[in-house]
Structure 1
Amino acid sequence: MKKKTLFSRISCAMLHAVLLTTCASVPRIAEDESAIHVVLIGLDAWGAYSVPGADIPVIRQMMAHGAYTLEDLSVMPSDSAPNWMSMFSGADPGLHGFTSWNSKEPGFQPAAVDSRAFFPGIFGLLRDQKPESTIAYFYEWSGMKYLVPKDVPNRMKLVPLLSYWKPGANKIARYIKKQKPGFAFIGFYGTDMTGHSKGHDTPAYYKKLSQIDGYIGIIEQAVKDAGIYDNTIFILTADHGGVGKGHGGESMQERQVPLILYGKGIKKGYEIVGEVHTYDTASTIARIFGLVQPDVWIGKPVEEAFE
């Protein structure tokens, strides 16, 4: 078994050097600028309740020129891993099996698995159906590394203290400008950390949200500098909200999160009125890329947001 693994690694390197092709874990060439690009930005513990009173000019500009709802409903429990996984997999915890805030693997046999023995998610779906796609996965909370198969993204990296440390956003910006990824996920953790330490719906929480808004502006500018802005769709959302210094409860302040779509082919200044759930995010991204959705998914594309 060890010889086979070693041979596989050597084969990958040789093919890359000789044929200029790549294996899944090797960074690919820059994406076609004319293709559709998706930047999915997630803010941990960003409750929809916070939007009206927050100083978030970048996010407000995207809302004003995009489609949005402040009633995107998280799955239960309204914790991190169950909702991030649902967002990525188009299904709820009863299907994918991630049932606690720090789940590292399914707590029971998932309803379905793909060729990687992983519940089918949007990252694997894009890799399988459009194998030449450049996929990036940047995250700040270490628990997120268990939610995506490691061999799928071209770039999968923990960026420590991303929402506290400006160079973190700048590093991601440099990657975007160079690689022009077809699909990039960026997960901020600062709102959750502040909610637990200082409290949700507090001055400290709103200050952190405003800071992250500035980092989103850095990411947006990088997309412009990469020359792919006119063909990019930004999606901003969250896993859950929060009350006091916790989360995971049943209140709407804990369960309702924003969902904002902005960019090519998206309605402008439009408030989504239909029911939206966290697992609809994966289905919406699949719709953007023209992917065939697995039968096991229960999510539906937010068609209302498109022109």
Structure 2
Amino acid sequence: MKDLLKNVLVGIILSVLVISCKSSQSAVAQKPLAKHVILIGSDGFGAYAFENAKLPHLRKMMADGTYSLQARSVLPSSSAVNWASMIMGSGPELHGYTEWGSKTPELPSRILGKGNIYPTVFSLVDEQMPSAKKGVSYTWGGIGYLFEKDMVDLDFNGRTDEETIEKAMDFHLENKSTLTFIHLTHPDNEGHEIGHGTPEYYTAIEKVDAQVGEILASVKKAGMMDDTIIIFTSDHGGIGKGHGGKTLAEVEIPWIIYGTNILAKGKLNSSIVTYDTAATIAYALGLKMPDFWRGKPVLEAFSN
């Protein structure tokens, strides 16, 4: 009888521990770990480029923050499907955008939010932080089909990356934006027109690095860096003049996170998929994530 009671008691304790562990795994940060998040996405920036390119500003983010050069896109490794996944916290099997130029889901979205699309991280901010400012500034027009336009305070399609960055930073610094997404069209243009891994491609890569340096300098000059997390990533890499395939050169993307409450630990061990970006942003802002998202925050990056 004593052994039976002992076994029952042990079973109850283990059940409580399992429930507790599951709760802690699904819990959001108890409080925001940053007041501001800037997501910089560089189109067609393959992780392989770090082998040869001169990237002082991105490497500084990697050294003072943490990173992976083995993060992966979803398949197909092309644009719209991956930009959607990045901000929607799920892959194409749920959000339904399946092609490089998707403007509407080819596969019906499993969930439709208030914006009548699969809910993005912007919808989380809109619902849980209604007074927060948020914006999207992008050079490739295809981005404009992938977020809830009525839920952001900036929706700007620039003609050039320079114009896109200028508009984004003016908005971000003036409004002390909670979440700003900056999409850059380079080096994808060079990848398609001239080829991945060409001198022209690397020149474009290095220009992106310089622009990231300008963004960092602007945030620091405004005195906001102590409250800011910056994530740099991409939608896909490429081979030849194309993308969309299943090679590591096409699928592996850089994923760099830097700023307040981010460990200066260098290389991450975590396996990262692009939809983990939205979950990581939500975690950093202390937001509750929907259970239908498939992404998970990259907790290894955080100091807490």
TM-score of the alignment, normalized to the shorter chain, above 0.5: yes
1:187 has 2:183 as partner: yes
The 1:168–1:104 alpha-carbon spacing in structure 2 relative to 1, beyond 3 Å, is closer
Residue-by-residue CA offset, 1:48-94 (whole Å, 9 max, x unaligned) = 00012111111111001001000111100001000000000110001
Give runs of aligned pairs for residues 48-197 of structure 1, distance below 5 A.
Answer: 48-162=47-161, 166=162, 168-197=164-193
Report the secondary structure of 1:246's partner residue: coil
The 1-side partners of 2:89 and 2:177 are apart by 22
Looking at secondary structure, tell me which structure has more helix per residue: 2
Identify the range of structure 1 (214-223 vs 197-206) with the bigger mean alpha-carbon deviation. Answer: 214-223
Matched-pair identity in %: 41
1:230 pairs with one of 217, 226, 234:
226
Q: State the number of aligned residues.
A: 271
Aligned twin of 2:236? 240
Residue-by-residue CA offset, 1:201-257 (whole Å, 9 max, x unaligned) = 111001001111111112112212222111100000000000000000000000000
1:120 is displaced (CA, Å) by 1.1
Aligned twin of 1:199? 195
Aligned twin of 2:22? none
Query: Aligned AA for 1:144?
Result: I
1:168 is displaced (CA, Å) by 4.6
Report the secondary structure of 1:144's partner residue: helix
Residue-by-residue CA offset, 1:169-205 (whole Å, 9 max, x unaligned) = 3343333332221111101111100000110011100
Report the secondary structure of 1:185's partner residue: strand
Residue-by-residue CA offset, 1:253-300 (whole Å, 9 max, x unaligned) = 000001000000111032111211011001101101111111111111
For structure 1, list consecutive stretches of 5 or more residues without a partner in the other structure.
1-33
Report the secondary structure of 1:151's partner residue: helix
Query: Aligned AA for 1:229?
Result: M
1:291 has 2:287 as partner: yes
The 1-side partners of 2:202 and 2:222 are apart by 30
1:116 is displaced (CA, Å) by 2.1
The 1:167–1:91 alpha-carbon spacing in structure 2 relative to 1, beyond 3 Å, is closer
Structure 1 segments of 4+ aligned residues over 6 angstroms from their partners: none
TM-score, structure 2 as length reference: 0.86
Kindly name which structure, 1 or 2, has the bigger radius of gyration based on alpha carbons. 2
The 2-side partners of 1:274 and 1:168 are apart by 31
CA contact (8 A) 1:169 1:218 kept: no
Query: Aligned AA for 1:143?
Result: G
Residue-by-residue CA offset, 1:134-184 (whole Å, 9 max, x unaligned) = 10100010100000111011011011121xxx4553343333332221111
The 2-side partners of 1:171 and 1:99 are apart by 30
Report the secondary structure of 2:149's partner residue: coil
The 1:190–1:94 alpha-carbon spacing in structure 2 relative to 1, beyond 3 Å, is same
CA contact (8 A) 2:34 2:261 kept: no
Report the secondary structure of 2:254's partner residue: strand
The 1-side partners of 2:159 and 2:133 are apart by 23
The 1-side partners of 2:36 and 2:128 are apart by 15
Query: Aligned AA for 1:58?
Result: H
The 2-side partners of 1:175 and 1:136 are apart by 8
2:250 pairs with one of 231, 254, 262:
254
1:111 is displaced (CA, Å) by 0.8
The 1-side partners of 2:134 and 2:166 are apart by 18
